[in-house]
Amino acid sequence: MNVLLVYPEFPDTFWSFKHALKFIRKKANLPPLGLLTLGAMLPAEWSKRLVDVNVADLTEGDLAWADWVFISGMVVQRESARQTIARCKEAGLKIVAGGPLFTSEYEEFEDVDHFVLNEAELTLPPFLADLELGRARRVYETSAFCDIRKTPAPMWELADLKRYASMSIQFSRGCPFDCEFCNVTALFGHRPRIKSAEQIIAELDGLHNLGWRGQVFFVDDNFIGNKRYLKTQLLPALIDWRKDKRGTPFYTEASVNLADDEPLMEMMVEAGFDAVFVGIETPDEECLAECNKKQNRNRDLVEDVKRMQRAGLQVQGGFIVGFDNDTPSIFQQQIDFIQKSGIVTAMVGLLQAMPGTRLHERMKQEGRLIGHTSGDNVDGTTNIIPKMDLDALCEGYKNIMHHIYSHKYYYQRIKTFLREYKPPKIEIPLDFQRFLAFFRSNVRLGIFGKERFQYWRLLLWTLFRRPELFSLAITLAIHGHHFRKICELRIF
């Protein structure tokens, strides 16, 4: 059996980093972790080939070689998934689909032969058993959650690692919180399920043995869901693993209460973490109460962010406008918070109702649901009827993005962050990729870029004030180039 594992193309979005990746000659930010893990679950005797359309074309030769196609993706990849399915169908191939997109919208993909939904650890085995008996059903789904301690390591060898800027790894699934707009708990539950420290070390060893020395993203939606295991098992194991390794910085996602635990932050930094994405959402207390963001309430969120920065963690933040309790003042509040906190990478989006969330159900009951979510966090669209006038909401949103990603305020924010940041002691080799990024940023941003004045001021300021952060300053300048492109192409 010859099986193609196909990952559809991501559109040009905030997190694609496509315009930044050109500086280092990479094709995509991350590989398709789900498909690589699925590959390890399929029968060993099957021949497998990964085609990530983000880094390579799906060729006629691939289609001629294959007997079956397994496709997975997220909502934002919807259109590319449709195009890919149409090509595979035309080639006469059997198609199996799974992942978040199909779990929420499988009824809209008529050309797919079989759906293996929810967690493949539970739904793939019965599908394979029925397939062998010649009686495979069209839909396999479950409301149960698997034990990910039994999940195999991804088949990294199927991916062309040198085409990616980062690798991804998963330690846990699930989140103990219950934010109204978030579909994480609908997909993975409230009780964080974890892999063993031994599993994570084995997966990292697998990457290291294949020659990977770059950054690794722990894709957990809330890495600190089980603090006790982190402190007693995983982080000590990671600290020990790093003793004879160079480079390989880690980054992840966590809730803001990480700022309350100084020892945990210290251990994370010692283990190699240098960045964390945090869902701030809004500085407005009424809106936090509305969306049940309990962990963010009654806090000095700016100080929380700065505490994490001083610990050695660059904070990337998620923000939302369009809550029922938002007033026209929210737009300036968001701008002021982002600038004051020094969150350089600020993902701001309109509120969207994802399938499976309590927000989606509430909007449906109130007659305020208007179609599917785009799955793109920063395209300036929403699939709900907001309480605020829609034109005013969209105009206010555009104003936020225009302000925070304008050259002047973006570079100001980098300096605000660099003043606070205490960099972790991660020895990262100065390789050709970093030389290339430096040279290209000097040309594209420093000579031909509209931001050249701010660019050179930042580099000179960093060189004299925080020389140890010079490489990071260049990286953030390059990221800003990408974010402005996204604003121009997707919002304005």
Which pLDDT score is estimated for 433? 77
Sign of CA dihedral 280, 179, 15, 282: negative
Q: What's the pLDDT tens digit per position in 45-72?
A: 999 999 999 999 999 999 999 999 999 9
Cβ(200)–Cβ(234) below 8 Å: yes
pLDDT band at 429 (very low <50, low <70, confident <90, very high): low
Which pLDDT score is estimated for 485? 95
Residue 246 has pLDDT above 80, yes or no: no
Tell me the C-alpha distance between 406 and 418, whole Å.
18
Which pLDDT score is estimated for 270? 95
Residue 431 has pLDDT above 80, yes or no: no
Q: What is the mean pLDDT of residues 11-16?
A: 94
Which pLDDT score is estimated for 427? 60
Q: What's the pLDDT tens digit per position in 136-145?
A: 999 999 999 9
Contacts of 94 (CB under 8 A, 6+ apart): 67, 68, 69, 113, 114
> Which domains are seen in the chain, by residue range?
2-19+28-140 (3.40.50.280), 165-420 (3.20.20.70), 437-486 (no CATH)
Do strands 166-169 and 215-218 pair parallel, antiparallel, or not at all (unpaired)?
A: parallel
- Reported pTM: 0.96
Here the tokens at position 39 are: 């590959």
Q: What's the pLDDT tens digit per position in 339-371?
A: 999 999 999 999 999 999 999 999 999 999 998
Collapsing DSSP to helix, strand or coil, 375 comes out as coil
Q: What's the pLDDT tens digit per position in 163-215?
A: 999 999 999 999 999 999 999 988 899 899 999 999 999 999 999 999 999 99
Distances (CA, A) of 477 to 271, 396, 415, 438: 26, 25, 11, 10
